[in-house]
Structure formats: C-alpha cells, structure tokens
Chains A and B, each alone.
Chain A
Amino acid sequence: MSDAVPDQIYFEDIEVGDNIPELEKSPTSQQLVQWAAGSGDFYQIHYDTSYAQDTGLDDIIVHGALKHAFLGELLWRFAGPEGQVKRVQCSYRGMDPAAQGRESAQEKKFTLRGTVTRKYSEGERNFVELNIEGVRADGSVSTPGTGVVVLPSRG
C-alpha cells in the first residue's frame, strides 16, 4: 500500500523526462460496482457478464471514466497536498477486463505511469505537463493521455 499522502514535490525538483511514481490498480468486479454507484454510470456491460456478452464483448469491462479517474489519482498523488490537478485527458484505445470470482486481482493489474514533457511558469503559477498512460498486465497501453498539474515552488 502506498502512502496515504505522498511527500510534497516542488517545481524546482522536476526535470523534463522524469518518470513520476507509478500507481498500481487491480480492478475487480466489486470495484466496478462501487464505481457504478460513485459515478452514476449503471451501464450493465460493466457488471453483468451475460449482458456484456450479448453486446459482443468477451466479458465485463472496466469503465473508461474509471481509467480516466485512475489517471487523475496518479496526478493527484504527484501534485501532492499543495499542488493542483489542472487537466486530465485520455483516449480509450482498448477494453480492459476486471478480475472476477476467485481470479487473482493481480492478473488484471493495471498500472498508471507518467513522464514529464514540459515545465513552465505563468505569473506565480508553475505548470508541469506530462504524458500519462494506463498499462495492462501484459505491458500494452490501453489508455494513453496527457495531464497538467500546478506545483508549488520552493522559492
């Protein structure tokens, strides 16, 4: 389990090309049901296997917006308690399955990663742009995107 609140990182400590701390998720059917309630998206392809199969899917799939929210958490943790998440953008390039039954959640591991692509200041605000992505257990990227955070300065 990662720290509940990561240590604050400062604008001066960041360089273009830096990889930010990864975040690991293992979505289960239980988490998809929690997400349905939390987000208000009750589309059955995310929790009802027969329904999903009737629409041509192999099985239930992770909500796109949950993958977007995972990337949001990656950036929230990177920005730290004094930072701010300014933008979270991603494309859904493929379906991601969720662990069900006795299946190990680890088999459905979904890793969130980010790399700093640009840093700049506007007035007193310091911005960091990143490439971000959601990566499946087999290493393929299903959810590429970009993000922007505001970081505090040491100055």
Chain B
Amino acid sequence: MADQEFESVVTDEMRAMIGVKGEETISELTTTSVRMFARSVGYVDPAFYDEEVARERGFRSLPAPPGYLGTPIFNPAESDATFGGRRGAGGFRSPYPLVLNGGTDIEYTGEQICAGDTLTSATALASLQERWSGALGVPMLIQVSETTYTNQHGQVVAVSRGTGISYPAPGS
C-alpha cells in the first residue's frame, strides 16, 4: 500500500541542525549513584555494590552497569524537573507535541566506566525521517540523536543513539 500523502514539517533550518553538536553536559558517577542504578535494574552481582569485589574483578571502582552513563549535575534552580537537563537548553525540537521513545543503542569503546568518573557528553541530531503511521492515522517524525561520552582523561567511552518518534494528536 502506498504511503498516505502528508505535508512535510521538516524545514531547511531543521536539516541544517543535523550533525551540529549541542552544548556539553557534565555527568558524574559516584559509588552511591552506581548502586542506585544497579539496584533499580535488579542486579545482584556484588561488583556493583562492593568496591573490594569490583577491584578484585579488575575495575578501578564500582563499574557502571550497561545503560548507565552518569547522572547530569543538577541544580533545581536551572534543571528540568522531569529529565534533569538544563531548562531551555538548545537542540532539536519537533514541531509535533506527542513523543514516544523509539529505541536506544549504546556502543561502548571498551574503556572502563566506573564510580569516580566524570563524563562530558554532547548530542547532535543524526537524522530526520518522516513516515505515515497507519496505526495512529497521523504523520510521524522520526529523529535519531547521537551522543558521545568522553571521560575525564579525554577518552571516548561510549556513543549512544536515541530514536524519538513525535506526532500530532490523532484527530487533530
């Protein structure tokens, strides 16, 4: 079946943002933050809770479980209450109001990420795609953002790609 025709919402200005890195975010990993993340996933491996076990296993301190890339330094005076980033930070904003998380892809370089590390990250829009959603009966904008994480020694430790799907309210 041919895609239903719809009007594109992607402007030249939006396309120009592809590949342009936004402002940097500083995130910290501490022993407590690693334990909190590990507990919330349900890990029972003592390497995430006991520094002695972590060191015996060859880690500098408690290792970051997969998916944990630090907690952004926050200050409620200027941080977003929901996601913790800086309020009003730049970056791509979809013209559609409703957003779904489409997927997560994190690739590690192999450098250890442990409690005590400070990661600096910057996000760039990687791609924009428009598609008709047969299920919702609305057009969707699919944006992929790529974030590179660098540790306090200047080593890239991970690259994450997040897919966001935004769309207008059905029936609007």
Give me the interface of A with B, judged by CB distance under 8 Å: 1-2, 4-5, 25, 31, 34-35, 37-44, 64-66, 68-70, 72-73, 75-77, 81, 84-92, 145, 148, 150
Contacts and interface: CB of A to CB of B under 8 A. Distances in A.
B82 interface: yes
B83 A86 contact: no
Given A34-B40, A37-B40, A68 B163 contact: no
Interface of B: 33, 36-47, 57, 65-68, 71-72, 74, 81-84, 100-108, 110, 163
Contact of A34 (B39, B65, B81): B39
A5 B42 contact: no
Contacts of A38: 33, 36-41, 68
Contacts of B37: 38-39, 69
A63 B61 CA distance: 28
Contacts of B106: 68, 87-89
Most buried by A among B57, B83, B101: B101
Nearest to B169: A56
Given A42-B81, A69-B41, A69-B67, A84 B110 contact: yes
B40 A39 contact: yes
Contacts of A73: 41-43, 65-66
B41 to A, nearest CB: 5
A92 to B, nearest CB: 5
Given A66-B41, A87-B106, A89-B104, 10 more contacts: A1-B44, A5-B45, A31-B42, A65-B104, A72-B67, A76-B65, A77-B45, A88-B105, A89-B103, A92-B102
